[in-house]
A and B are shown apart, each in its own frame.
Chain A
Amino acid sequence: MKSFLQNTWKHRAHVVLALPVFLVLFFIMYVPMAGLVLAFKDYKMNLGIWGSPWCGLKNFEFLITSKSTFITMTRNTLLYYIVFTALGTFLNVTLAIAIDQCIFKKTTKAMQTIMIIPVFISYAAVQFIVYAFISTDTGILNKTLGMNTKFYATASLWPLILTVVKMWNSVGYGSVLYMSVLAGIDTELYEAADIDGANKWQKIWNITLPALIPMITVMLLLSVGSVMRSDTGLFYQVTRNNGALYSTTQVIDSYVLNSILKSSNFGFTAATSFFQSVVGLLLMLLSNGLVRKIAPENALF
């Protein structure tokens, strides 16, 4: 212990360098963690989080009694997470390999530049673009196909719409990370495979994909912790926060945002948030534990 303190004193310059981030994280991330106790309190605006009286598990009773809202938004959150992560990872990797394999380097570079653009457009702006495609009277889809589909009133179409928008938004950028791994593969491996007479697919299957596995694992692990969290803008802005679509578009995060903006239902919302944070933590620990068993070198911690 004494040597630890000595070491810290000796490197006090490092402590000073680390201090600003330490403080920012403390106030921005750690204090709100303590704020989760709100789930067990009866929130009173004038008393604040710490001063409000305890109320036991009453807020969680709301979750159970109003189960359709809670179950619908949890189900939506989970299903969208699964679809986005599975399809997203598959497309990210496919696109990265496709770009890596293509020999027209200059052209692919230009194409890649364009593919990344959507990720930089905020959802507040994306919603106008989506509207241009699917609005009932003026949308390109209805006009060109001669249909009269009321997209903004048909909840069943939205899982598809949101998936397309999400992939459009994220795949180009998502593939960049995998490309950075591909760029690091030793070319001698491919050369050796050539000498052994491997064809293109065999090389992809036996060299390229295995090289990507660690990155895929890390990215999946990182995402598991946010299973209960969603890309709020996608679900709030792109759907125009349309109540008629909630059955397929309301996720936990957009519900919480609505409740904050309307300052209503804080008890229910606090219980939901608590559930969201705890489940996220458990899933993260579980998946990291699994990876540590199977491939310890890829585990996060």
Chain B
Amino acid sequence: MEDKKRKGNKKDLAPSRTEKRGIGQYILAFFLLLYTLFCALPVVLVFISAFSDEMSIQKKGFSFFPEKFSTSGFMAVLRYGKQLLTSYGVTIFITVGGTLLGLLIMSMFAYAISRKEFRLAKFLSVYLLIPMLFNGGQLSGYLIFTNNYHLKNSLWVLILPLCVTTMNVIILRTYIVNSIPAELMEAAKIDGAGEYRTFFQITLPLLKPSLAAVGFMMATAYWNDWQNAMMFIDTKHTNKQPLQLLLIKIQKNIEFLLNNNNVPASAKAAMGGSIPQYSATMATVIVVIGPIMVAYPFFQKYFIKGLTVGSVKG
């Protein structure tokens, strides 16, 4: 009797989350597919164009179905060989360095302000919040970083401004408060672990999902940062140019070559007759966005779990 009842219940309640495959579901899936294509096709176009023959793009325009495929675009990018490697090095350095540094100090701060017994936490929360409400703007920041801190053409200026954001600290704190049992940290203390040990050996390992999500978002912000590089790194400091700046530079070079008839024929000849303008830029785009595209699927699973924003109130 008991068994039967439960079965009956199950039947009754099942439809709520596992719907029948009605026509509505197929229509919904169709629209989602359309939107997915809208998101994906521009990226697909980059790949196709990068492998398209330059002449076919110039004559027929960009196309998802090019007349001829070619790898000359990638060859043109490889001409930037040494600079490409340097720029990769710079970008990887600021991305990895900045993300690790930021995650470490932000989770330390998040841990400190999440402690109820710590009375300074209230003040620190407000201190954290104010930059979200009010900030000095680009110009003031630019002048202070260059004139007062003398950070022009230094890699620090690419790392520090993106290192701490209020939002990320709040996300980390929310995770500590909601998902790490306070008893665990208390137990560690009772067992004689000091504050540092509790943080590094109990809290930090348990914070992993949130660190992964926040870390990945930080890493993409570093990887994609062109603005700080453009403002703070002069063109002649080629050994400090990140990838995004190289991307901008390559485009400018090609435009210059195309618009300038005074360019010596030898320079044009070095480019192999026609300048692989379109396919080469698309190939560069792939070189620049490729690593993120590859890394992203590994981090996606943490997004929903790790990125929950809680209330800002302490």
Contacts and interface: CB of A to CB of B under 8 A. Distances in A.
B43 interface: yes
A33 interface: yes
B60 A35 contact: no
Interface stretch (A65-73, A151-159, A188-196, A242-250): A188-196
A125 B143 contact: no
Interface in B120-139: 120-121, 124, 127-139
A111 interface: yes
Nearest to A118: B39
Interface string B190-204: 000011100100000
B230 A122 contact: no
A225 B304 CA distance: 25
B133 A18 contact: no
B111 interface: yes
Nearest to B281: A128
Interface in B28-80: 28-29, 31-33, 35-36, 38-40, 42-43, 45-46, 49, 57-58, 60-64
A87 interface: no
B105 A49 contact: no
Contact of A132 (B62, B129, B220, B289): B62
B32 A99 contact: yes
B270 interface: no
Interface residues of A, number: 104
Contacts of A104: 25, 29
Interface in B171-225: 194-196, 199, 220, 223-225
Contact of A187 (B16, B132, B161): B16
Contacts of B293: 117, 120
Contacts of B106: 21
A48 B140 CA distance: 11
Interface in A239-295: 253, 256-257, 259-261, 266, 269-270, 273-274, 276-277, 280-281, 284-285
Contacts of B42: 118, 129, 132-133, 168
Nearest to A193: B16
Nearest to A8: B120
B111 A21 contact: no
A180 B142 CA distance: 37
B308 interface: yes
B141 interface: yes
B93 interface: no
A140 B108 contact: no
A137 interface: yes
A237 B247 CA distance: 12
B120 A15 contact: yes
A194 to B, nearest CB: 5
Most buried by A among B15, B130, B227: B227
Given A111-B36, A138-B57, A29 B285 contact: no
B247 A257 contact: no
Given A27-B149, A122-B244, A129-B46, A98 B31 contact: yes
A18 B113 contact: yes
Contacts, number: 303
Interface in B266-310: 278, 281-282, 285, 288-289, 292-293, 296-297, 300, 303-305, 307-309
Contacts of B244: 122, 124-125
B195 to A, nearest CB: 3
B36 A48 contact: no
Interface in B141-161: 141-144, 147-149, 160-161
B13 interface: yes
B115 A128 contact: no
Nearest to B28: A102
Contact of B139 (A15, A38, A180): A38
A123 B221 CA distance: 11
A33 B138 CA distance: 10
A22 B308 contact: no
A108 interface: yes
B61 A137 contact: yes
B92 interface: no
A22 B124 contact: yes
Contacts of B36: 111, 114-115
A13 B136 CA distance: 31
B96 interface: no
Interface in A88-110: 95, 98-99, 101-104, 107-108
Contact of A49 (B131, B134, B140): B140
B140 A8 contact: no
B39 A115 contact: yes
8 contacts: A14-B111, A18-B109, A18-B112, A35-B143, A102-B32, A116-B296, A116-B300, A135-B61
Given A122-B289, A129-B42, 14 more contacts: A28-B164, A32-B135, A32-B141, A34-B136, A102-B25, A117-B40, A118-B42, A120-B296, A143-B61, A177-B307, A180-B308, A187-B17, A266-B139, A280-B134
Interface of A: 4, 7-8, 11, 13-15, 17-18, 20-22, 24-25, 27-36, 38, 43, 48-49, 95, 98-99, 101-104, 107-108, 111, 113-125, 128-129, 132-133, 135, 137-140, 142-143, 168, 172, 176-177, 179-180, 183, 187, 190-191, 193-195, 200, 215, 218, 222, 225, 232-233, 236-237, 253, 256-257, 259-261, 266, 269-270, 273-274, 276-277, 280-281, 284-285, 299-301
State the 10 A-B residue pairs at the shortest beta-carbon distance, nearest first.
A32-B136, A35-B140, A13-B195, A122-B224, A273-B137, A21-B109, A143-B61, A20-B105, A29-B131, A18-B112
